[in-house]
Structure 1
Amino acid sequence: MAKSKRLMELMMAVNHKRKFTVKELSQEFGVSQRTILRDLQELSELGVPLYSEVGPHGGYRVLKERILPPIAFSEEEAVAIFFSIHALRHYSSLPFEADASSALRKFYHYMAQDTRERIDQMKSRVDFVSPARQAQSPYLSMLLDAAIQQQVLLIDYESSEKRSSREVQPIGIYTRNGLWYCLAYCFQSDDFRLFRCDRMVAVVASTVEPRDFRHVHLENRQAKGVIEQDAVALYAELTKEGVQMCEAEPWPVPKLHIRSDGTGWLEGSIPRCDLLFFAKFFISLGHVVTIKNSPELLDCIKRTLSELMAKYD
C-alpha cells in the first residue's frame, strides 16, 4: 500500500477508534510498529490531536477535537454548505457559534478565486431571514451536551412570574421565530417542561442521578407528545385581510389554512410559555381575527387588554 493511501486510511481508522495501540495498528495495516510510529508522528504534525498514554494499559487516544479526513466537495456542494452556515449569522446565539464561524472561514479561504467571487455576488442576492432577537442564550452548548450525554443540570430560571432554581434533564433544543427552547424533564415538577433558553440566568452541572430518556428525543412520537402536554390548543378564524397578515408570519405551528374565498383559519397548538406573545399578536390584528375554542389564550388576551385599559384609565 502506498504511503499516502496508508496515511489517509490511518487517519480514518484512528478517528473511529476511542483508543488504540501501535501493535493493533501494525497488525491491521500489515506494517512494522516502527512504521506505524512514524505515520502517527506525521498525522500529529498534520493536526490530528493524538495523546499518548504510558504504562501496561497505555496506548494512544484521539482527543475530543477530532480532525476529519480530507473530503472532496464539488463546487455546488461547497457553495451549498457555505450558505447553510452563512444562514445562521442572524441568530444572536448558537450552540456552536465559534465552530460555525471557523468552518465558514475555512470554506471561503480554500475555495478557488472564481468560486469566492461567485459567493461574494450571491451573498448580496440571497438571504435566510429570521426575526432579530436581542435575547441571549449563552448555555446552548451545555444544554445540547447534557441532552446527548444524558446529564442533569441545575438551572436558575427566570419566568414571567418568578425566578426559581430547578434540576432538569435536557431532551433537546430547538429554535423557532429566532428564540431557542429546551425540552427537558423537570425533577421538581416530575414532568416534562418546555423552557426558554434565554431565560436561563445560570446553568451548572447537578449531582442528581439522571433518568433513562434515551428513547425520548425531538423527532420521535414520545417527544411530540411531551411537547403537546405543555402546549395549549388554538383555533382562530381569519378574514381575507387576516389571512394576508398571517401569511407574512412564520407559522410552523399553528398551521395556516386558506379557503377558496380567501378567508381562513389558524389551527394547532402553541407552547404555554408563548401565550403572552400570541395574545399580543392577536390583539394587534384587531377585527380581522376571532379566537375560538382557546380559553387559556382568550383569558390571556383579556388580562392583557385589562392591564392596558387600567394603565390609560
Structure 2
Amino acid sequence: MKKTERLHHMLRFINQKQHFTLHDLMQEFQISKRTALRDIASLEEMGAPIYVEYGRYGGYRLLQQMQLPPISFNTDELHALYFAMQALRSFTSLPFRTTFESVHKKFMAALSDRQQENIHNMQQRVAFKHTEQIKDSSYLELLLEAAVQQVVMQITYPYKNSEPISRIKTSLRVIQPIALYASKGYWYCQAYDLKKKAYRVFRCDRIMSAVLTDIEPVAHLADIHSEHLQSLWKPSEQAISFQCKISQAGMEQFKQNHYPSIRLKEQDGVKLLIGTYEPHELDFIVSYLAGYGTSIKIVEPEMLKESLRQYYLNLLESI
C-alpha cells in the first residue's frame, strides 16, 4: 500500500477509534514502529488534531472528530467491486429490493472516462456465468431483518415440493432466522425451529407467509456464524440413515453441492457418502443422489436403493 493511500485509511481508522496506540497502527496496517511514528507526524502536518497521552495507559488521542475526505478507490479496488457486483445480476429477489441495474448505473456514473473504458475492456475479456434465480422470494428483506435483529418469526411452510398448488399442505413454523444464503438459483434461510428445537434450512421461495413476533428469542443463537451451522444440524427421530460408496469424482461433486445432513467419511480405506433424510424427503434425496450418476453406489438402506432404481426406470420409459 502506498503511503498516501495508507494515510487516507489511517485517518479513517483513528477518526473511528479516537484513542489509539502505536501498536494499534502497527497491527492494523502491518508497518514498523518507525513507519508508524513517521505516519503520525505526517497526519499532524495534514492538520489532524492528535496529542500524546503519557503513562501506563497512554497513547494517542484525537481531540475532535475530523471531516474526512470522500472515499476513493484505486483501479484494483474498482475492478474488485465490479467483479463483486456481477453476483447481483442473476438475482431478481434481493434483500432490501436492490436491483443490479440501479447499482450498476450508479457505479458506472461515478467513474471517470478512463475507468469506464477499463471496465468496458475487462467486459470483453472476462465472462461471468451465473445460475439464474429460479423463483422469486417475497420475504427476503423480512428474513434478513429478523436474522440481524434476532427476532422470532412465524412462517407458513409447505410439507412437500411435489404436490399441486391446490393440494399443498402447510404448517405454521416458529423460527429464529440465523443467516441467508443463495445457491443454484434459490435463496435459503438457516434458522432454529423453536417448536422442534432443531436447526433447519428453509427454501425462501416456498415460504408462503411470514410475520415478526414478540416471542423471546433464543439468546445463544446471536453468537452462531453461518459457517458453523452445519455442525449443529440434528436429524429428527424419524430420519432415515443412508450410506453410499463414492468415487473421487463424486467427492469433488459433493464439495460443490451438499447439505447439512450429508457428509463424507472414510472407513477401512473406503470413501463413503453418509447422511440422513426425513421420510417425506425421499423424492428429494433420490433426485439428489441420481445427480452423481456412476460416481456413487448405495450401500444402505435397501428401500433407497430400490427407489433410485425405479427413478432410473422412469427416466428410461420417458425417452
TM-score by length of 2: 0.60
Residues 81-100 of structure 1 mapped to structure 2, 5 A cutoff: 81-98=81-98
- In the other structure, the counterpart of 1:70 is 70
Instruction: Supply the distance in 2 between the matched residues of 1:165 and 1:77 (Cα, whole angstroms).
Output: 46
8 A Cα contact 2:253 2:292, kept in partner: no
Shift of 1:133: 3.6
8 A Cα contact 1:146 1:152, kept in partner: yes
- State which drifts further: 289-298 or 144-153: 289-298
Shift of 1:149: 0.6
Alpha carbons of 1:228 and 1:248: their partners in 2 closer, same or farther (altered >3 Å)?
closer
- In the other structure, the counterpart of 2:197 is 190
Instruction: Supply the distance in 1 between the matched residues of 2:180 and 2:140 (Cα, whole angstroms).
Output: 8
What residue identity is the alignment partner of 1:136?
D
Instruction: Supply the distance in 1 between the matched residues of 2:275 and 2:69 (Cα, whole angstroms).
Output: 44
The one-character-per-residue Cα deviations of 1:213-246 (angstroms, maximum 9, x if unpaired) are 21223133xx232236479876544679xx3997
Percentage of matched positions with identical amino acids: 29
Partner secondary structure for residue 135 of structure 2: coil
- In the other structure, the counterpart of 1:114 is 114
The one-character-per-residue Cα deviations of 1:127-156 (angstroms, maximum 9, x if unpaired) are 343333421112122111111111011111
Shift of 1:101: 4.6
Residues 1-313 of structure 1 mapped to structure 2, 5 A cutoff: 29=64, 70-98=70-98, 101-160=101-160, 162-212=169-219, 213-220=221-228, 223-227=229-233, 229=235, 236-237=244-245, 243=249, 250-251=256-257, 267=273, 269=275, 276-283=283-290, 289-293=296-300, 298=305, 301=308, 304=311, 308=314
Stretches of structure 1 that go unaligned for 5 or more consecutive residues are 14-27, 32-38, 40-67, 258-263
- In the other structure, the counterpart of 1:62 is none
Aligned residues: 244
8 A Cα contact 2:88 2:99, kept in partner: no
Instruction: Supply the distance in 2 between the matched residues of 1:81 and 1:265 (Cα, whole angstroms).
Output: 40
What residue identity is the alignment partner of 1:267?
L
8 A Cα contact 1:181 1:197, kept in partner: yes
Alpha carbons of 1:146 and 1:284: their partners in 2 closer, same or farther (altered >3 Å)?
closer
- In the other structure, the counterpart of 1:24 is none
What residue identity is the alignment partner of 1:94?
L
Instruction: Supply the distance in 2 between the matched residues of 1:271 and 1:74 (Cα, whole angstroms).
Output: 49
What residue identity is the alignment partner of 1:139?
Y
What residue identity is the alignment partner of 1:95?
P
Instruction: Supply the distance in 2 between the matched residues of 1:100 and 1:141 (Cα, whole angstroms).
Output: 16
8 A Cα contact 1:235 1:265, kept in partner: no
Instruction: Supply the distance in 2 between the matched residues of 1:95 and 1:297 (Cα, whole angstroms).
Output: 38
Stretches of structure 2 that go unaligned for 5 or more consecutive residues are 1-7, 17-62, 164-168
What residue identity is the alignment partner of 2:283?
L
Instruction: Supply the distance in 2 between the matched residues of 1:185 and 1:300 (Cα, whole angstroms).
Output: 31
Shift of 1:81: 0.7
Shift of 1:89: 1.0
Partner secondary structure for residue 156 of structure 1: strand
Shift of 1:270: 7.8
Alpha carbons of 1:100 and 1:152: their partners in 2 closer, same or farther (altered >3 Å)?
farther
TM-score by length of 1: 0.61
Alpha carbons of 1:108 and 1:235: their partners in 2 closer, same or farther (altered >3 Å)?
farther
Alpha carbons of 1:119 and 1:225: their partners in 2 closer, same or farther (altered >3 Å)?
same
Partner secondary structure for residue 90 of structure 1: coil
- State which drifts further: 128-137 or 273-282: 273-282
Partner secondary structure for residue 125 of structure 1: coil
Shift of 1:75: 0.8
8 A Cα contact 1:185 1:191, kept in partner: yes
